[in-house]
Amino acid sequence: MNETQSPSPPAHGSPAAPARVTRFAPSPNGPLHLGHAYSAIVAHDLAMEGGGRFLLRIEDIDGPRSLPELADEFRRDLDWLGLEWEEVPVQSTRLETYAAAARILREGGFAYPCACTRAQIRTLPPRKGADGREYPGGCRGRCNPAPGEAAALRLDIERAMTAVGEIVWTDERAGSVVADPRDFGDVVIVRKDLPASYHLAATLDDAADAVTLVTRGRDLFEASHIHRVLQELLHLPVPDWHHHELVLDADGEKLAKRRGSPALADRRRSGEDGKMLAEQLRLRNFDLGT
């Protein structure tokens, strides 16, 4: 079965599965490309096949890099692809929620401030984890930032894992997975320059939006271990996950804004048929245009 193929109907007399709620959550810090389009289509189709809801959430807390005009371009891109969606509040309206969750984690002893700079971290004994260089916990229990000093907030992963015990999460493709984010080390949950990291904001937002199926690329599979632990610590509902394949360029690399992957908006303005492109993406038969 491919990722957008409808499942077999339930057997006669069995209860129908609850309608799914999925979301597409782009950051307006660069144009959408084919990888984004594919991710949006997977989320859209998985929701629509069962009469569910497909949400659009703009993740706009990346400081001056978040451009409102790009969010408008995203809406035009999705419409061009033939997708229908419901829009939920943008992240910048949810800052109090992020701050409240960070307070809960810190007061519970599950988070601590870290004033280390990237240069300082590079001088520490190297440890590699799932997300590259792993922070070895040097500030854990020892960092008292001076008033006005910039400090991030890190999750004390060992203490968190002791508190939650063995917990699992379910991916539609991988099955049941035991949550163990230790390979990430003590990840940042509130950045020095932003009100929340991706890990904290996405976890809280999915709960607030009542998302029941988190769809995203397989490159974020390991991050779901962290999000599952945060859900347990913050007593949030637990969705299912669907980590889909990535759209790769001619060199086998993941498409990315920072690599200058061709923008959907350019294809749209050139007169290309967006609905036809969407069908090609569903079949994974498309021209990368690189």
The DSSP string of 123-147 is TSPP-EETTEEPP--TTTTT--PPT
Q: Is residue 214 very low, low, confident or very high in pLDDT (cuts 50, 70, 90)?
A: very high
% of the chain exceeding 90 in pLDDT: 69
69 and 166, same domain (yes or no): no
Which residue range forms the structural domain that includes residue 100?
94-205
Write the pLDDT tens digit of every residue in 142-152: 666 656 678 89
Mean pLDDT (whole number) for 162-190: 95
Domain count, the chain: 2
Q: Is residue 5 very low, low, confident or very high in pLDDT (cuts 50, 70, 90)?
A: very low
Last residue of a domain, one of 171, 205, 239: 205
Write the pLDDT tens digit of every residue in 103-122: 999 999 999 998 877 776 66
Does 233 reside within a domain?
no
104 and 66, same domain (yes or no): no
pTM for the whole thing? 0.86
Helix (H, G, I), strand (E, B) or coil at 18: coil
Q: Both tokens of residue 280? A: 């090609």
Does 287 reside within a domain?
yes
Lookup result for tokens 């904001």: 201
Does 54 reside within a domain?
yes
Euclidean distance between CA atoms 208 and 231, whole angstroms: 12
Does 240 reside within a domain?
no
Does 193 reside within a domain?
yes
Does 263 reside within a domain?
yes
Does 266 reside within a domain?
yes
Instruction: Judge whether residue 32 has pLDDT over 90.
Output: yes
By mean pLDDT, which of 107-116, 210-219, 279-288 is the weakest? 279-288
Does 215 reside within a domain?
no
124 and 57, same domain (yes or no): no
126 and 115, same domain (yes or no): yes
What single-letter amino acid sits at 261?
A: S
Quick check: 138 and 124 in contact, CB under 8 A?
yes
107 and 178, same domain (yes or no): yes
99 and 197, same domain (yes or no): yes
Q: Is residue 7 very low, low, confident or very high in pLDDT (cuts 50, 70, 90)?
A: very low
102 and 194, same domain (yes or no): yes
Write the pLDDT tens digit of every residue in 35-76: 999 999 999 999 999 899 999 999 999 888 899 999 999 999
125 and 157, same domain (yes or no): yes
User: Which CATH number goes with the domain that contains 143?
Assistant: 3.40.50.620
Lookup result for tokens 């035991």: 178
251 and 159, same domain (yes or no): no
